[in-house]
Amino acid sequence: MTTDLPPGLTARPLTTDDLDAVFAVYSGAELEDSGHLALEPEDIAGDWARPSFNLATDSIGVFDGERLVGAAEVTRSGARSEGAVRPGERGRGIGSWLAAWTERRATSLGSSRVGQVAPDGSLPQRLLLGRGYTLSHTSWVLELPDGTEIPERPLPTGYTLATADTADREQAAYEVIQDAFDEWEGRVRDSFEDWAATTVRRPGAEPWQLRVVEHDGAVVAASFTILDSQGAGYVYQLAVERTHRGQGLAQSLLADAFGQARERGATRSELSTDSRTGALDLYLKVGMEVTQVWPHLVTDLPR
């Protein structure tokens, strides 16, 4: 599978044995391009464990001898791609080859459009823009500055906080999160199994990470928090059912999520949101600050 590869390089699908090498490539690129590292090996393992993802057909690695120098994946039925080149290997045409591979794979999956995120102002962003990609939406990473506390907001009468420690609560939390995220135009809904692989079945996951708000015995809001190896309590997902919005449930869940992580050793509090949610102002009002900007770029594919 070496057609059109830069000279001296080979390519093959990734395997689970490549996980550490893929992490080295992706994390090195993230540090180079954004100045921050949030990715963990567990994130990759969770993504690869999703039933909808076939590592043998939906991934590719580029090698210089035995050394992995670039990698890419296509997910969500071809709607989303991810790729990176080891910083010391850039300028050899690897990134362009990987981008072309993801576009071909997305097309073969029947997708009419594929998108990828890249840090604002980075080399990967310039590469994608040069291939004709355009802005779909913008994502922001926010952090709660040292010493800043989000005040606890008591839940309204009739609402209670709970840990989603049963299968029924997990399923209900999944439904609330997916229904809320499905309000975003063009989103591909996750199956429960795909969602679980990156949340409650993520390597090392514990029950406390998934918290829910219940009303009349039904789950109406949910959050999932990751405590990463760098001491950050990262709110990975947070959603409130439409008819229960405007009552402070999101702020209550946010304070709870950060508090749960701090009790377990977190020294920082982070989350990300994007321009489709309309939630940026909420996070700015509670004292969070934007630390990174990640545009989501898309391109139309041949039918």
The CB density around residue 89, as the number of other CB atoms within 10 Å, is 19
Q: Which helix (H) or strand (E) holds 95?
A: helix 94-108
Mean pLDDT across 60-80: 96
User: Are 156 and 278 within one domain?
Assistant: yes
Q: Does 297 score more than 90 pLDDT?
A: yes
Q: Are residues 16 and 114 in the same domain?
A: yes
- pLDDT tens for residues 207-262? 999 999 999 999 999 999 999 988 899 999 999 999 999 999 999 999 999 999 99
Averaged pLDDT for residues 133-153: 90
Number of domains observed in the structure of the chain: 2
Give percent above pLDDT 70 in the chain. Answer: 99
258 lies in a domain?
Answer: yes
CB distance 116 to 81 below 8 Å: yes
Q: What is the pLDDT of residues 166-204, one digit of tens each?
A: 999 999 999 999 999 999 877 888 999 999 999 999 999
The SS3 of residue 187 is coil
- Single residue among 120, 139, 158 that ends a domain in this structure: 139
Q: Are residues 151 and 264 in the same domain?
A: yes
Q: Does residue 211 fall inside a structural domain?
A: yes
pLDDT above 50 (res 2): no
297, 261 contact by CB (below 8 A): no
Give Cβ neighbours of residue 51 (< 8 Å, ≥ 6 apart).
191, 193, 194, 197
Whether the pLDDT of residue 16 is over 60: the answer is yes
Give the CATH number for residue 127.
3.40.630.30
Rounded to whole angstroms, the Cα distance separating 151 from 252 reads 9
Tell me which residue range forms the domain holding 70: 10-139
CB 70 within 8 A of CB 83: yes
Q: Are residues 172 and 101 in the same domain?
A: no
Backbone angles phi, psi at 163, to 5 degrees: -85, 135
Q: Is the pLDDT of residue 111 over 60?
A: yes
Whether residue 303 is contained in a domain is answered as no
> Does 152 reside within a domain?
yes
Domain shared by 126 and 150, yes or no: no
Residue 108 shares a structural domain with residue 158 = no
For range 91-112, the mean pLDDT: 96
At 3 the pLDDT is 56
